[in-house]
């Protein structure tokens, strides 16, 4: 994803320009690209007016819901006291060409917002080049941001359907930069070629296939709804956790470096209900997070949850990736 700091009015134009350029690369026409630019402008302007240390994240998404541009606006200001008023069409963020957050929501195929007093606000907007009717319910979301100053991300992730469930990989190439990206990209390629196999078998193949790279940390999670469980197999410091209600279970990943040192591949099993969330993070994200600190967040869009954890727990000295996946519970359900 592209990170655009927005702490002053002059940076709003940069966010708009980058969003429009991303839309153009994805085949958006002038009208659809204009919607993306307007939403980016509204969200960035909102950061300047209300936020502290604001940041816009821009990326492409492609999943069961469609394909398009994803925009996350993250800030750590005082929060929004009255979300209903802020989302009302015509409630302007001040000085912007649209009509505030209400316009951003109206122009987006998917939109979600979370705010807490004293803990800031996070906004998600997803826009497609053309709408094909009501989108499917999203079951996963991700935020992946390279270390500041790097042009490529040494982390990579991939989420694939597996029967009624799913299989997810997160790879963290050793270090950062192009060589790390080569390792994690190869891990994704190998994962895609063997995604139907058992997690330990997939990880063993990835380990063998990364020998010509600098290697890295790799973890694979598979949700089997018919058995009410998630399987987890990891080597290195990709962290995983299952959140069910108020309980968070941290998952076990064995020591080693995929591609170089791995004594064994062991799969661990954890209960996973339709209301559970899987959280997987690369080493660029701290491990002290708890969703209990964010009332209502468990019912948010998976990408919004990932954005909040990135905002508050990115270490700032490495690439940072957060992947969120849920069971069959619908996005927007009560937390």
Per-residue buried b or exposed e for 70-86, using 16+ beta carbons within 10 Å of the residue's own CB = bbbbbbbbbbbeeeeeb
Query: Tokens 């009410």 correspond to what residue?
Result: 228
Task: Provide the CATH number for the domain around residue 202.
Answer: 3.60.40.10
Whether pTM > 0.75 for this model: the answer is yes
* CA 77, 78, 83, 86 torsion-angle sign: negative
The C-alpha atoms of residue 149 and residue 87 are separated, in whole angstroms, by 35
User: How large is the angle between the packed helices 199-209 and 178-193, nearest 10 degrees?
Assistant: 140
Identify any residues that bridge with 240 across adjacent strands, giving them in sequence order: 280
One domain, residues 183 and 295 = yes
Would you state the pLDDT for residue 333? 45
Q: Helix 12-25 and helix 30-50: axis angle, to 10°?
A: 150
- Interval 106-134: pLDDT, tens: 999 999 999 998 889 999 999 998 876 65
Q: Verify that 86 and 230 share a domain, yes or no.
A: no
Q: What is the dihedral of CA 127, 133, 139, 141, to 10 degrees?
A: -10
Over residues 223-247, the mean pLDDT reads 96
Q: Tell me, what CATH number does 57's domain have?
A: 3.30.565.10
335 falls in which pLDDT band (50, 70, 90)?
very low
Is residue 133 domain-resident? no
Residues 94 and 168 in one domain: no
325 to 77, 262, 275: CA distances (angstroms): 28, 27, 11
**Better pLDDT: 89 or 168:** 168
Does 255 reside within a domain?
Answer: yes
334 is a domain residue: no
Which of 85, 103, 128 is at the close of a domain?
A: 128
Choose one of 105, 128, 151: the last residue of a domain: 128
Residue 55 lies in a domain: yes
User: Rounded to a whole number, what is the largest CA-CA distance in the chain?
Assistant: 61
Task: Identify the H or E element spanning 42.
Answer: helix 30-50
Examine the domain organization and report whether 216 and 263 are in the same domain. Answer: yes
The count of other CB atoms within 10 Å of the CB of residue 312 is: 18
Verify that 74 and 178 share a domain, yes or no.
no
Q: How confident is the model at residue 330 (pLDDT cuts 50, 70, 90)?
A: very low
| List of residues 6+ apart from 231 with CB closer than 8 A | 198, 199, 221, 222, 224, 267, 268, 269
Name the domain boundary from 128, 162, 196: 128
Instruction: Check whether residue 29 and residue 54 sit in a common domain.
Output: yes
The reply to whether 74 and 208 lie within a common domain is: no
Distance in angstroms (rounded) separating the CA atoms of residues 138 and 277: 13
> DSSP for 202-254?
HHHHHHHHTTTS--EEEEEEEEEGGGTEEEEEEESS-EEEEEETTEEEEPP-B
Tokens standing for residue 289: 């997070």
Strand order in the sheet with 120-128: 2-6, 54-63, 66-75, 120-128, 110-116
Kindly state whether residue 151 falls inside one of the protein's structural domains: yes
Whether residue 134 is contained in a domain is answered as no
Mark whether 120 and 255 lie in a shared domain. no
- At residue 90 the predicted structure's pLDDT band, cuts being 50, 70 and 90, is low
Which of 15-24, 81-90, 120-129 bottoms out in mean pLDDT, i.e. has the lowest? 81-90
Mean pLDDT of the region 313-326: 96
State the Cα–Cα distance between residues 20 and 42, nearest whole angstrom: 13
Total tally of structural domains belonging to the chain? 2
Structure tokens at 275: 């209301």
- Look at residue 227 and tell me if it is in a domain: yes
Range of the domain at 82: 2-128
The answer to whether residues 174 and 298 belong to one domain is yes
- Taking the chain, what is the end-to-end CA distance rounded to the nearest angstrom? 28
Report the distance separating Cα 277 and Cα 91, nearest Å: 34
Bridge partners (DSSP) of residue 43 are none
190 falls within a domain: yes
The verdict on 21 and 154 lying in the same domain is no
Quick one: 119 and 149 in the same domain? no
Mean pLDDT along residues 259-266 = 94
Q: Mark whether 151 and 229 lie in a shared domain.
A: yes
Confidence of residue 285 (pLDDT cuts 50, 70, 90): very high
């Amino acid at each position: 994803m592209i990170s655009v700091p927005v702490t002053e009015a002059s940076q709003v134009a940069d966010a708009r320009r980058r969003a429009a350029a991303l839309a153009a690369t994805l085949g958006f026409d002038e009208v659809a690209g204009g919607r993306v630019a307007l939403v980016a402008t509204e969200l960035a302007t909102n950061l300047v007016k209300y936020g502290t240390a604001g940041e816009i994240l821009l990326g492409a998404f492609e999943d069961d819901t469609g394909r398009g541009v994803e925009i996350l606006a993250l800030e750590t200001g005082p929060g929004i006291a009255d979300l209903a008023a802020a989302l009302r069409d015509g409630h302007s963020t001040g000085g912007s060409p649209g009509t505030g957050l209400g316009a951003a929501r109206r122009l987006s195929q998917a939109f979600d917002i979370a705010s807490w007093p004293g803990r800031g606000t996070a906004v998600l907007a997803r826009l497609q080049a053309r709408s094909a009717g009501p989108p499917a319910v999203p079951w996963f979301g991700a935020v992946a941001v390279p270390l500041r100053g790097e042009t490529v991300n040494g982390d990579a992730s991939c989420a694939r359907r597996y029967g009624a469930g799913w299989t997810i990989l997160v790879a963290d190439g050793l270090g950062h930069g192009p060589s790390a990206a080569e390792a994690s990209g190869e891990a994704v390629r190998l994962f895609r070629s063997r995604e139907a196999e058992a997690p330990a078998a997939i990880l063993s193949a990835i380990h063998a296939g990364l020998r010509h790279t600098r290697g890295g940390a790799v973890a694979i999670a598979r949700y089997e709804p018919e058995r009410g469980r998630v399987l987890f197999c990891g080597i290195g410091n990709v962290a995983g956790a299952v959140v069910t209600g108020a309980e968070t279970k941290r998952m076990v990943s064995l020591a080693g470096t995929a591609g170089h040192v791995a004594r064994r591949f062991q799969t661990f099993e954890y209960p996973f209900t339709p209301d559970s969330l899987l959280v997987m993070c690369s080493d660029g994200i701290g491990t002290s997070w708890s969703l209990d600190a964010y009332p209502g967040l468990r019912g948010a869009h998976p990408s919004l949850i990932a954005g909040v954890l990135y905002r508050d727990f990115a270490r700032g000295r490495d690439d940072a990736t957060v992947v969120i996946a849920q069971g069959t519970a619908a996005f927007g359900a009560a937390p």
